[in-house]
Amino acid sequence: MKYFMLFFLSIPFCSLHAQKQKLEKEIRSIIENKKATVGVAVIYDSKDTLTVNNDIEYPAASVFKFHQALALLDYMNKNLLSLESKLYLKKSDMKNDTYSPLANEHPEGNFYISIGDLLSYTVSKSDNNASDALYYYMNGTQMTDMYLRTLGSKKFSIEATEQELSQEFNNQYLNWTTPLEAAQLLNIFITKDIFCKNYKDFLIQAMAKSETGSDKLKAFLPKKVLIGHKSGSSSRNSEGLKAADNDIGFVYLPNGKQYSIAVFIKDSKEDDPTNARMIADISTIVYKFYKNK
């Protein structure tokens, strides 16, 4: 009887394993024959993990603004600082040779803005000037890198600001991560109380309201699904090679559970719509796989 019971209890695990193998095969079918390296990681309910091409250093691009946000909120939390605290931005802070809705709205600079609003521009609008202003406030990228390591992260590097990344094409590779490392950070943020609820809710809403990357992870998901995400996209070199096209996010399912997902595209010679469609298609099949689990 014992042997029968052991065999019987192993069936659900074997079935799930087979299903995950099928999901991985579907993901690989989306990325096969593409002129790019694509990495994927998914963590469902803090337990079930799937990875594809994870053992590669992927340029983070603006995905690192999520990492920056975590370090900033930890600093604010530890120092009992309000998100309403003001910073003064000079005209020299409003660089017009970079992506910046903030500079479009305040081309002359010389204005006060709350840290909360700066963070919203950084995360929701992927504003490069806002990100660099916050890094100036945080004394550079080192504090972000060090804080993430206290959370257990290892396979990543955050060493360049947006201004530094733009100085030459190869600088795009200075900030990197593996897909699983990014998905684990998302999972820690969603499931752990790493800072006060007020800050956590603020960042969740900022990611849910993200105005960039709408053609990536969230493109084909049902409108009622809560997804918060941070996309990232690099420039191309003279040969048309794109260093990075990424999106990471958390998804709350109808069953009340959630998963974290990270999709990174490295060194792509595909066009931007093809890159985005790969991410969107991967996101769609992952959602369909887990929505009824």
Per residue in 221-244, pLDDT tens? Answer: 999 999 999 999 999 999 999 999
Q: Is 13 exposed, middle or buried (0-12, 13-18, 19+ CB in 10 A)?
A: exposed
Residue tagged 């079930």 (tokens): 48
Cα–Cα–Cα angle for 261, 76, 150, rounded to 5 degrees: 55
SS3 110: coil
Whether residue 6 is predicted with pLDDT greater than 60 in this model: the reply is: no
Q: Maximum distance among all alpha carbons in the chain?
A: 80
Taking the C-alpha atoms of 77, 99, 231 and 66 in order, what is their torsion angle to the nearest 10 degrees?
A: -10
- Average model confidence (pLDDT) for the chain? 94
pLDDT tops 80 at residue 262: yes
Active-site position among 10, 15, 46, 62 = 62
pLDDT of residue 18: 86
Strand 37-44, strand 226-233: pairing = unpaired
* Residue 62 among the catalytic residues: yes
